[in-house]
Each structure stands twice: as C-alpha cells, then as structure tokens.
Chain A
C-alpha cells in the first residue's frame, strides 16, 4: 500500500506549466471578483484595526498629552527607556500579566475540558448543567466584577458568613482584595468562573468530532479510559484546543475590565496588568507616549506567543 501511494501523492499535486498559469489567472480573476464583497470589510479592518495599530506604535515614539491641538514631540525610544528603567509599576504589571496568562492556560482550560468531558456523557439534567456553567460567560465582565467585589467585601461578604458558619473568625479577617499577596488571585478566581464555561462549550463542540467507531475500536484493542482519552479523544480535540488556547492567551493578555471593576489595579498597583497600565498612563496620567509604548510591548508579547503556537499547530495538523 505504501509503495503505491507514496510516489503518487506528489505527482497528483504537480500541475503542468499551462495549468499553473491558468490557476494563477483564475486566482487573480477570483480575487478581482471577490473584491467588491471583501472591500467593505477590508476597508473597515484597515480603518478601525490596522490604522489604530500603526498609529499606536507611532505614538509610542512621541510625547503627547492626548489633547486635540497639543503638540506631539518626537522623543525616539525615550518612552521605552522610561517604562523599562524608570516606571515603578511596569515590571509589576508585566509580571502579573505573565502570571495571569500561565494560570489561564492551566486552570480554566483544564476545568473547561473536565466539565465538557463530564457533560458529554448521558447524564440527568445535562443541558441544565451546560447552561448553568455557560451563563457567566455571557455576563458583562464589569457586572461580574461587581458581584465578586460584593462577595469579597470585608464587612458583609462571603468571608463573614463563612466565618460565622464555621466559627472561624480568621476567615472574616482575610482581605481578599486588600492583601497585596492574594488580591490578584482573588480576581483570577472570578476570571475562572467567567471563562471556564465558555471553554467547556468549545470543548463540547470539539467532542462531537470524536468518531465513536474509533473509541469502540480502541476499547476492543484493550485500551483503558486514559488511553482512549490520550490517543483518540485528545488528538480529535486538537483543532478546538488551538482555538481555546489562542483565545485564552489573547483574553488573558488583555484582561482589563475585571481588574478595573474589582481593584482598579490596587492596592498600591499590586494587581496592575499591562493592558490596564497602558490605559492608566494614556487616559489617567495623560502620558499617551508611555501608554502606547506599553501597548506596543503588549502587542509584541502577544505576537511572540500566539504566532509561533499557531504555526506549530498548523504544522502538527499538516503532519497528521
């Protein structure tokens, strides 16, 4: 079998020169034909995405207060030097962003997968559970922030109730959002609550692509549950895993609203992240150059993480 298929595959892909020329013409003609349909979206994309992105990078080399009419002074790399060597908050924000991304790739992704596997089985109330876990994903993050801030309130929050219930006063003394060492993780708990259900839905969709015959065949070959999951289910989930991982990285790198709503970056900037610090420098401190330099760093980090991962997964996909 292999002797006959291996040589034929490249031959099948090869086209005679005339045919390749035709294909190019067709592609060209196809592009021209598609242009009127693509144009509005392309124009909007260039105006509202590419343009601001370029403008943001440009502004990172200027000093500007952000006001209409105020002068923009070219300062070269000064803003970058300032954020890396003088800004007392930048490194905290960068560290917190990295912590947030790493935790996001582990906890809500794993939790979403586990919930999807559990709710993919025939189970009483399965749809109700699916809806229940998905609901936080459709709520506005700022509403979630308010709910969790209320729960963490040191005067009447859940800590007070738990302290009374367990007769353990120390629980009431925990400053969920006021303790520099735990505040970031307290907000992260709300993030997990918000996003795990969305991951679950994506994994559930992916699980529909697992061919039951393959599972049956693996079981007949004597594979245990873990081996079936490792060798059949997980490979089938690869495309959806790419989506989940990329979305998680992007969502976690630009996390903003939950932190604004729960701590505003405090106490003492200890829960600050790059996206919020970029906003604060631009809109709070009127340092648009600094703010855009931070945004550019954020863009570079995102590209460094996401692009190689997508290239790698595309190769994996091709090889398999």
Chain B
C-alpha cells in the first residue's frame, strides 16, 4: 500500500517536473529551440495560410528551430500581452501596433528587447523604409521589427455609383458628400460601418477631423498641443460627423459589428467601405467580384493617407532572442515578403519588394501610397487607452444624437484636462 502510494507520488512528481520543464525551457523534446510568436488571427483566411506557409518555409531552412504560433482575436491578443509580458509566460516574439497609444505602453514598461545588435547584424536599417524605421526608434532604442505598413481608403462599388449617377470618383470632401447624397436619393446606403466595435466608426471621425483641421491641426490635437475645446474645426468635424451618421450610414449601424456591416458591402447593399489594404483579400475571400470595386483615398485635401504601422517585438526576457531575430529576419526577407504581401495587403515593409502583378484593385494601392505626403494615424493609436475610451464615448453620443456636436470638443477636453 505504502509502496503503491510512493509510486503514485513519484509518477505525479515526475509529471509535474516534465510539465514544468516543457513550460520553461524554451526547447522542444527533440532538442530543437522553440520560439513562441503571439500574433493576431488575420481577417482573411488566405492571410492565415500565407503566414503558415512562411513559418513552414523558415522551419525547413532552420531545422533546429520550431516556431509556435499562437493566434488570437484583437481583444484576446491585447489581454494575452497584458497578462504575460514581463512574466515567464511571455512569448519570444509578440505582435503589436506601433502607435504610442496602442502598443507604446508595452515598450514603456520594458517588455521589448533593444534590437540594435540585430539591426547591425542583419543590416535591417537598409531593409526598411525611413517611415517604418521611425516607428522602431520612436521610443529611444530599437524596439521591434516592422511587420506591416497599412493604408486605409474608401472602397466603392462601381455599379452602385453608376446606378446613383455618380459619374466621377470624388476628389474633394464636398464631392464625396454630394456622391453620398446621390446614393441616398437612389435608395442605396452610401457607406457601411459597424458601431459595436467603436474603432470602425472612428475611422470616419478621424478622416473628417483631418479634413476639417488639416494635417497640422490634426497633429496638434492628438498630441494635446491644441485644445479640443477651442478649435472651431473640432465643432465642424463633429457637425459633419453627425450628418454622416444620421443620413449616410447603414440604419442601425450602432448595434452591429464591423463584420456584419461589411456584409452589406459584399452583397451590394452599401456603396462604400472605409477599410485598409487588407480588405482586398477579404473581399476576394467573401466572394465579391472585385472588378466591381474601386478605390480612392478619403478626400481630406491634406495629401496625407490614413494608416498605421504594426511591428513584431522580441520580449525583453526571451530566452532565445537569437532564434527569434533569425525568424524576424526571414519574415521580412524578400522571399517571405513576396508571399506576405500577396495575401496581406499592398505594401511590403522591405523596400526591395515592390507590389507586382496582382489584380487591378491590388495595383490601385501603389499610386495611393506613392502620392501620399504622409500618414495620419488612427486615433486609437495616437491617444492613450483611457482617452480612446472617452473619445469613443463622445463619438457615439454624437452619432446617436445624444450630444450636440458643438459640445463634443469641450466634453473631450474636460476629460483630457483631468488626466
């Protein structure tokens, strides 16, 4: 009996030890170095397949390294980072947005390893554009390796535009409003948004803010150098925003999410969608005839393109930073990037990889990026998390007619002043 108990205890103890070893050693049973990569689950299934292919190719070339990919939806990914970074459960590599508001906090708490050594070793400084490198060096050291450079623009349904009598693609904000009016008169929903995920509708508000305040005004507001309460353009922005939400958006937008509202675009019920370059693949995956889809930048009049960057960071307590850096080197190599941008969007972070071939819609992004004079970033990346929560509350109050647009700026500034 006693011997039996001892055996059970030994087996249980051994199991715990083996389990713990598996958790902490960063190596797999066959002696390979194992690195973990926390990333987002991509919207387009094709994009997920492309990542799997790149990982597989890397492992073939580096048989001593295993890459374990853990994918999560946006909010689950943020939660995973918050609860693991800085602990022994942190991944070797983690994806994050590059903006100071959304992503910067992880850097500030020391979760990211300074990669200066690897930038020199792999010559990364020459591989990436100045714009993407700025997102790496903005916190004072080399934090992260560029992953994507995203642009966002208006996708439009050519057939619905023709049906509504919109003969020319709008190039000014007034022309865009006129087109929306024509579409509405023709019984077509001008533009679709899903309001339960606040960031979707935020794109419209951000773009109108850039239109009404100009690029300098936009930057001054989001960096708190200007007061939201004092700038007349803020009131103009919220006034225009209220007009769009009350007249031109899909009815009931506030109670559906982005996937549900995007279905209105795929099915030809809504004429426009304000989406990023990833949407090309999403359109294809959802069976929409992309030859009926056109693309135009939101006509802000400033020349800047709406967009943001995403990077992959190596955890400061990674036990295998060399293997992690080797993987990131492969991920941003010319070979991998060709596979990557075929499924992920229009632009490669590797300056030596240009978008070639692809459909007419894919090619439409190239001049948009080339002609852009800069980037105005999504405000959930510019603002801190708490500020973003309040920005969305005010956005939705105006969108639902609960707050006078004239009071929106001062309401937001009141919150900023209390921070």
Residues of A within 8 A of B (CB): 65-70, 82, 86, 88-89, 152-155, 173, 175-180, 183, 263-264, 266-270, 280-281, 283-287
Contacts and interface: CB of A to CB of B under 8 A. Distances in A.
Contact of B252 (A175, A266, A280): A175
B260 A67 contact: no
A65 B109 contact: yes
A67 B82 contact: yes
11 contacts: A65-B105, A68-B87, A82-B418, A178-B255, A179-B400, A180-B400, A266-B254, A268-B393, A268-B395, A268-B396, A270-B402
Nearest to B89: A68
Interface stretch (B8-16, B283-291, B382-390): B382-390
Interface string B76-95: 00010010011100000000
Given A67-B109, A267-B399, A287-B386, 14 more contacts: A68-B87, A88-B415, A153-B256, A173-B251, A177-B254, A180-B400, A183-B255, A264-B196, A266-B254, A267-B254, A283-B82, A284-B389, A285-B385, A286-B385
A261 B111 CA distance: 31
B176 interface: no
Given A180-B400, A267-B396, A268-B396, A154 B255 contact: yes
Nearest to B85: A67
B195 interface: yes
A155 B105 CA distance: 39
A215 B390 CA distance: 59
A154 B393 contact: no
B254 A178 contact: yes
B385 A68 contact: no
A266 B199 CA distance: 13
A70 B197 CA distance: 29
Given A153-B260, A268-B393, A280-B389, A66 B255 contact: no
Interface of B: 79, 82, 85-87, 105, 109-111, 195-198, 250-256, 260, 264, 385-386, 389-390, 393-397, 399-400, 402-403, 411, 415, 418
Contacts of B260: 153, 155
B255 A176 contact: yes
Contacts of A69: 86, 109-110
A178 B79 contact: no
Contacts of B111: 67
Contacts of A179: 400
B393 A88 contact: yes
Interface centre among B87, B396, B399, B411 (most CB of A within 10 A): B396
Contacts of B109: 65, 67, 69-70
Contacts of B418: 82, 86
Contact of A155 (B256, B385, B386, B397): B256
B57 to A, nearest CB: 34
Given A68-B87, A175-B252, A268-B402, A285 B386 contact: yes
A266 B196 contact: yes
A267 B255 contact: yes
A190 B402 CA distance: 25
A239 B99 CA distance: 57
Contacts of B87: 68
B372 to A, nearest CB: 32
B385 A266 contact: no
Contacts of A173: 251
Nearest to B384: A285
A155 B400 CA distance: 18
Nearest to B395: A268
A175 B254 CA distance: 9
Nearest to B110: A69
A161 B314 CA distance: 52
Contacts of A86: 418
A88 B415 CA distance: 8
Contact of B82 (A154, A266, A281, A286): A286
